[in-house]
Amino acid sequence: MPISRGFRRRHAEPPAGTALPPGQYLTRDFPVLSAGPTPDVPLDRWQLSLTGAVDPERHWDWEAFRALPSETFTVDIHCVTSWSKLGTTWEGVSVDTLLDGAEPLGGYLVADCYGDYTTNLSLEDVTDGKAWVAFAYDGEPLEPEHGGPARLLVPHLYLWKSAKWLRSIVITEENEPGFWETLGYHDHGDPWLEQRYG
């Protein structure tokens, strides 16, 4: 391995037993990365939809969404820009709950957002307890800059897959690359395999 002369660790070592994906470092802050302005989405105009190749399609206003059973969960998150944050606590509705009783007619989805961001995922990556639509972070309503009113959270993939300001989950038959996926980032984005770039 080529050495950068004189470079050394300055940050404390992560606590024993902590595993970080390759190339990641720990942060205690919560950096923000977005491609454009933070959309202003008032709750009385907010709607979440499950659309596309799914039967039936579904729509929830804020009240209906918040009436769904929710879960509090603690996960590690990993951003492609190299920071990881461990033990973050969120509250949200499992994607399994949103899909319960609806039949997907395709194996993929596009997360479509207020502000027009998109990202693509396979259904497999968001079902069986692997993903949520989160509306609270650390016991507080999710801040707009972190994706509020509600964002997708898929913690086992790089955070660009956890689309902020989620508007609809569009089920698709084919895999349809989203915003960053068409701009040079990896289609899948598994941090443990360091799938940063396509």
Footprint on this chain of other proteins (rule: CB under 8 A): 1-11, 23-25, 27, 29, 31-40, 81-83, 115-116, 145, 179-180, 182-184, 196-197
d(CA 197, CA 85): 21
Closer CB to other proteins, 60 or 179, in the complex: 179
Minimum CB distance to other proteins, residue 192 (Å): 15
Closer CB to other proteins, 23 or 129, in the complex: 23
Minimum CB distance to other proteins, residue 176 (Å): 17
Closer CB to other proteins, 101 or 184, in the complex: 184
Minimum CB distance to other proteins, residue 48 (Å): 20
Long-range contacts of 64-73 (CB under 8 A, 24+ apart): 65/93, 65/133, 65/135, 65/150, 66/135, 68/93, 68/97, 68/98, 69/93, 69/97, 70/135, 71/132, 73/132
Token pair for 19:
């595993």
Closer CB to other proteins, 83 or 90, in the complex: 83
Contact 167, 119 (CB under 8 A): no
Three-state SS string across 121-152, please? EEHHHCCCCCCEEEEEECCEECCHHHCCCCEE
Closer CB to other proteins, 15 or 101, in the complex: 15
* Residue in the structure block whose two tokens are 């990993």: 78
Minimum CB distance to other proteins, residue 197 (Å): 7
Minimum CB distance to other proteins, residue 46 (Å): 17
